[in-house]
Amino acid sequence: MPTIRDVAEAAGVSPSTVSHVINQTRHVSEDTRQRVMDAMAALDYHPNRLARSLRNRRTHTLGVLLPNSANPFFAQVLLGIEAACFDYGYNVILGNANDDPERELAYLDVLLSKQVDGVLLVSTGAYDEALDFLATRSAPVVMVDRSPGAGYEDLQIDTVFTDNERGGMLATRYLLRLGHRRVGCISGPSRLTSSADRVVGYRQALTEAGIRVDEDLIVSGDFQHESGYRACRQLLELPEPPTALFVCNDLMAVGALCAVHEVGLNVPADVSVIGFDDIPLASYTVPRLTTIAQPARDLGRVAVDLMVQRLSDRESPARHERLPVTLLERDSCGPMRGE
């Protein structure tokens, strides 16, 4: 493998001049620069970027840890991250926790051992373990889609998330405007701030409408299709089932659509269903899914913006960005019968 000294000898210059050409750290005449470039090409010499990065204590690589890469929503977030990293000149190392807190910790250890400049974390919800682990390391962290749990409010961790509470209110108010009074809720895991905030919005919308919150109408899922199906079947088997469902993500809403059809009911004539996320599949369900749209790619882009800013100023106060959500009306919601 050719060395920088081999290049210098072939170009008739000193090794330091070759270094200045490669790193652009000092002015070198155009004739000299071209001789160095020609020598590098002739010798098939490639600078050792890893060694140079370690000398500078920067690898221009970010670690990204997702809770479940099979979830289409997180795939959209990742597209936003990758696009922004490309624009900034950063590489990405991806880890998939598969909704397993132990795997999340193992991947955090792996990412930091790779000398990443920072970590973009979409947590499984095991905030205590992950944040306690990261607190012992020097790499900055941006939490994406989720916020630190109770007790970590004072940590210098940048966050970017959407207005989940408002999203829950928008969804529930919409169903109430359609005349529904028994509105069920299929929530995600309660340990996740994103899921908990959506349920808070659901409760607030019912309360402001003067409707008592019926705890039997709230069933937890895990953000996957199967749990949405099971939760919907449970709600439809109640003595007085709901006429409308607010489902806290689109994957569970797809499972709910299947459950409604399986028991011989019709969406939206018998049961209205509204989801949350606006994954690409939501436009192709039958009927097409009404949902609360999150700007998934913007979440990824803003996360990278925050990380780049943090890397340039490690002492600035933590920043918390909350992105808006919107109601997308499609075909899966209709008026209460008789309304």
Give the chain's domains with CATH numbers: 4-47 (no CATH), 57-162+296-323 (3.40.50.2300), 164-294 (3.40.50.2300)
* Residues 173, 280: Cα–Cα separation, whole Å: 24
* Residues 180, 339: Cα–Cα separation, whole Å: 9
Category of 7 on φ-ψ map: left (φ > 0), alpha (ψ -120 to 50) or beta = alpha
C-alpha to C-alpha distances, 145 to 121, 193, 206, nearest whole angstrom: 9, 9, 25
Residue linked to tokens 């490669």: 22
Strands 218-220 and 272-277, by their bridges, are: unpaired
- Inter-residue contact 86 to 109 (CB < 8 Å): no
**What is the residue-level pLDDT of the chain in tens, covering all 339 positions?**
788 889 999 999 998 898 888 776 678 899 998 999 999 999 988 776 555 554 556 788 999 999 999 999 999 999 999 999 989 888 999 999 999 989 999 999 999 888 899 999 998 887 677 878 887 777 899 999 988 866 666 677 899 999 999 999 999 999 999 999 999 999 999 889 999 999 999 999 999 999 999 999 999 999 999 999 999 999 999 999 999 999 999 999 999 999 999 999 999 999 999 999 999 999 999 999 999 999 999 999 999 999 999 998 988 898 999 999 999 999 999 999 865
Its pTM stands at: 0.83
- Inter-residue contact 143 to 159 (CB < 8 Å): yes
Six-digit token string for 72: 């289409």
- Inter-residue contact 182 to 235 (CB < 8 Å): no
* Residues 187, 199: Cα–Cα separation, whole Å: 7
